[in-house]
Structure 1
Amino acid sequence: MSQPDRFSPFETALDRDTALRHLRAATTGADDGELFLEQRRSEALVFDDGRIKTASYDASEGFGLRAVKGEVAGYSHSTEISETALARAVETARLAVGEGGGTMAAPPKGTNRHLYSDTDPVSGTPFAAKIDILREIDAYARDLDARVVQVSASMAASLQEVFILRPEGELVSDIRPMARLNVAVIVEEAGKRESGNAGGGGRFGLTGLIDPTAWKPVVAEALRIALVNLSAEPAPAGVMDVVLGPGWPGVLLHEAVGHGLEGDFNRKKTSAFAGLMGQQVAARGVTVLDDGTIPDRRGSITIDDEGTPSGKNVLIEDGVLVGYMQDRQNARLMGVEPTGNGRRESFAHTPMPRMTNTYMLGGEADPASILADLSDGIYAVGFGGGQVDITNGKFVFNCTEAYRVKNGVVGAPVKGATLIGDGPTAMRQIRAIGNDLALDPGIGNCGKAGQWVPVGVGQPTLMIGGLTVGGSAAR
């Protein structure tokens, strides 16, 4: 990769040699460190109930300087990219290094791979055209069904450009586009109102989302979910078998298992999976991957925020725990290789082990046969919010679309259903794995330690035995 004299496209007097000199001053005697520079532009539009509700544009840039020594990291950031600001940052970063020498970790391996284009989703489509499309979506949703009483359509686009300078002089960069479209509808019948949401996106321009052939199915799906909920009955309560649909229900896997397989939690032994490497932690046939290398996916990254190329990392193989997701610091402290999972929300945040696209591989079972084998339980197709305790894997998830199943027959939709369990137990109680692996449509965000990053999830149809279903109706 070329080594520019200046951190293009930043309009700054900070040249590469000056930046490198200060970075080396900050990391002398350290085990690791880097200078992370970022420029980001983002736009968000919300068309709600027939009018523009929000139209926002944000532009930001800055740097983060980090020096790492053992388990300690010194970090300083600034929105001013200049030698003066960098010199001040060196003083803060040095506090983590102290006296005594360290051994600088080997730099990340380079890559010429590009997982997405450098298209600009923000400026690629005229502002007026975006408003017109949102207005069309609103009108189309109302024309689809007379019961639609409210429509909210939103469009978001961003372009993030990052440069990472290493103490040995290596400079790597990545240009990361992101686009997303979301539609929510509210329907009303006989005085009863229900809502439905659908959307999608990824690392590409808005063109693929704003074509009618793309957004009309999204509107139809939001309406379908709303109408399903309109006829839903109160969910039953009790311990029962549950079948999870493919795709977005993988968010349960992400929360209940994925976070527990991040390196920092396991190094500190605060994860339910700590100390279980090489042991059976899930049912046979269960293989879970975190894969940041899928082209154009929302959770994909060509390089992580430390400069390590993203990887296709196997975490659980045939039920056996075989790997954790690692950033550079935790990998070094655990004596393993980084996996390309060092991610940060922005230049104002330190990197940590984070998921990219986390999914379970498909099995051999026909999804219809899995449902046919469910004698008394719930078929959960969509999920909303949830909570997870990393230390024990216990989770609570709200179902946004679910159905009652008896004797293998899918019955009425149910509302108010919550799934309660713990990740390690749920993984061991998987009884059937479908052959219909699907990834989510590109809507995921993940929070950890106050930082948010885009992610992807996925799974095939699954049957999990013995989950607690919270509801209000008798079985």
Structure 2
Amino acid sequence: MSFNIVKKKILNTNNISIENIYSIFSDLSTKELNYSDIYFQDKISESWILEDKIIKNGIYNIDKGIGLRAIHNKITSFASIDQINLQGLRKISTYVKDISKNKKVFFKKKILRSEHQSYYNFVNPLNSIPNFEKLDLLHQIDKISRKYDSRVSHVNACLFGAYEYILVVSIDGVLSADIRPLVSLTVSVLSENKSRREMGTNGQGIRGTYKYFLEKDKNGISNIKKIAEEAARVSILNLFAKEAPSGYFPVVLGSGLPGVLLHEAVGHGLEGDFNRKKLSVYSDKINKKITSSLCTVIDDGTKKEFRGSISIDDEGTPGQRNILVKNGILKKYLQDKFNASLMETVSTGSGRRESYRHVPMPRMTNTYMLPGKSTVKDIIESVDYGIYAVSFNGGQVDITSGEFVFSTSEAYLIRNGKIVTPIKDVTLIGSGIEVMKKISMVGNDLFIENGIGICSKEGQCVPVCVGQPTIKINNLTVGGTK
């Protein structure tokens, strides 16, 4: 169904035929190319921004264009144009031809339509509710946040929606299409108590429509109320957080959002391009133990309506569920077509790009660790003195060494097996490959955070999700202010 809709939207409307594309590839195939593909994208997006009870911004954006890539050995030639028509396609095809010698290459003379399963609906979120309801939703956020506690002084919120059509055609015969909805809601709350001010931030996003935020659970509580009150709760909590200790002691990472450490310290290191170039700490470690045997790590682009999910990647390969690490043993790297071919393996459906202006590269989708058998209560009680980190607000990772630095947005001190007080300004420092080996307990409470995750790599940003159960790291360097 999506194929016919996208074909009409992108090709038929712009007077481009499959025969025209065949002609472009036939021309390119007179060169010594290993591979070539054409990426069409037609995207609309909007954002509505509230600052302290006032709608400060309403932005609507249209972005469409074509990206054409040709690969000769390890050299990639790429050109893009911000319009969709046959003249523009022919124009950028002349640029990419210049990289190679005049020698014919095999070209499949029949472009095959690729069927795939979709993991989200095709409803345009921008039309899912009227504009006045979008503004009312933001005003409700402001009221809910302020009602939570009188110390809430400032509330900002951003409602974002996007709807895009993509079509991928490649010289090896692939013809795939997708329609991708995406919405998100982000809330930031500032609270004040005497001279102290603290921020709390929360957000959610899905591949769906704005109606998701208005849905209510069995107790009648709406998603916008949960999002707003969580941001306010963290803000108020940190008003009374104590200074964090420094040292080297056990750290418990909570379920859900702390999976960002897994994403950064492990996930990026398992992307194919880093390993092909021997830049990752995980290079040449397939079928070797890289984590505790309690750890199984998944990257899954097939989870229904999750932010990081993809029915197809941006090379036309169907989205997949990839087991990266099984019981501590490294099983595979995330691959796009280019790096997979050079490493003599196959694509894992991980070729992603920000837009038609960018070349695809191996990227994560929804990355998480499978649950274990321990209860959260048992994990906390096993710690005499340590840190319980519930959420992060940022960090840095060196892919080559695996070393990371993360700061928490919500954390607690554990003493004698009990959570005793909230603490702030906690910094976690370590090496991904070493920390993963120190995991001694894995909880049974897996939660995948369908939040507002954005993964940045080489200047490109794509939506992702992270998750994990509660885990115990035996020892980790903690930087505090106490």
Give, in angstroms, the shift of residue 184 of structure 1.
Answer: 1.4
- The answer to whether the 8 A contact 1:27-1:68 is kept is no
Choose which of 196, 209, 213 in structure 1 pairs with 2:213: 209
Give, in angstroms, the shift of residue 406 of structure 1.
Answer: 1.3
1:177 matched to 2:186: no
Q: Alpha-carbon deviations, 1:215-249, whole Å to 9, x = none?
A: 11111111111111011111111111100000010
Question: In the alignment, which residue of structure 2 is the partner of 1:20?
Answer: 22
Question: In the alignment, which residue of structure 2 is the partner of 1:224?
Answer: 233
- The answer to whether the 8 A contact 2:50-2:56 is kept is yes
- The answer to whether the 8 A contact 1:5-1:15 is kept is no
Give, in angstroms, the shift of residue 452 of structure 1.
Answer: 0.2
Residue 326 and residue 348 in structure 1: after superposition, are their counterparts in 2 closer, same or farther (change >3 A)? same
1:328 matched to 2:331: no
Distance 1:108 1:201 in 2: 34
Distance 1:171 1:376 in 2: 57
- The answer to whether the 8 A contact 1:5-1:17 is kept is no
Q: Name which of structure 1's ranges 82-91 and 225-234 shifts more when overlaid on structure 2.
A: 82-91
Choose which of 155, 171, 181 in structure 1 pairs with 2:159: 155
- Taking the TM superposition and a 5 Å limit, the aligned residue runs for 1:76-95 are 76-95=79-98
1:465 matched to 2:468: no
- Taking the TM superposition and a 5 Å limit, the aligned residue runs for 1:58-137 are 58-102=61-105, 110-137=114-141
Question: In the alignment, which residue of structure 1 is the partner of 2:404?
Answer: 395
Distance 1:202 1:296 in 2: 6
State the AA in 2 paired with 1:39.
Answer: D
Distance 2:411 2:396 in 1: 19
Distance 2:420 2:339 in 1: 48
Choose which of 57, 65, 78 in structure 1 pairs with 2:60: 57
State the AA in 2 paired with 1:14.
Answer: I
- Taking the TM superposition and a 5 Å limit, the aligned residue runs for 1:44-443 are 44-102=47-105, 110-167=114-171, 169-211=173-215, 213-443=222-452
Distance 2:111 2:477 in 1: 47
State the AA in 1 paired with 2:8.
Answer: S
Give, in angstroms, the shift of residue 54 of structure 1.
Answer: 1.7
State the AA in 1 paired with 2:67.
Answer: G
Runs of 4+ in 1 over 2 A off after TM superposition: 1-8, 13-16, 26-29, 95-112, 166-171
Q: Alpha-carbon deviations, 1:305-339, whole Å to 9, x = none?
A: 00000111011110011100000011111111110
Question: In the alignment, which residue of structure 2 is the partner of 1:444?
Answer: 453
- The answer to whether the 8 A contact 2:249-2:476 is kept is yes
Distance 1:394 1:82 in 2: 47
State the AA in 2 paired with 1:228.
Answer: L
1:31 matched to 2:40: no
Give, in angstroms, the shift of residue 13 of structure 1.
Answer: 2.6
Gaps of 5+ in 1: none
Residue 283 and residue 331 in structure 1: after superposition, are their counterparts in 2 closer, same or farther (change >3 A)? same
Distance 2:450 2:465 in 1: 8
Residue 326 and residue 109 in structure 1: after superposition, are their counterparts in 2 closer, same or farther (change >3 A)? farther
SS of 1:95's equivalent? helix
Distance 1:4 1:235 in 2: 57
Give, in angstroms, the shift of residue 169 of structure 1.
Answer: 4.9
Gaps of 5+ in 2: 217-221
Q: TM-score, normalised by structure 2?
A: 0.94
Identity across matched positions, percent: 40
SS of 2:167's equivalent? strand
- The answer to whether the 8 A contact 1:243-1:464 is kept is yes
Q: Alpha-carbon deviations, 1:352-397, whole Å to 9, x = none?
A: 0000001100101111100111111110000011111000100011
Distance 2:291 2:64 in 1: 44
- Alignment coverage as a number of residue pairs: 473
State the AA in 1 paired with 2:198.
Answer: E
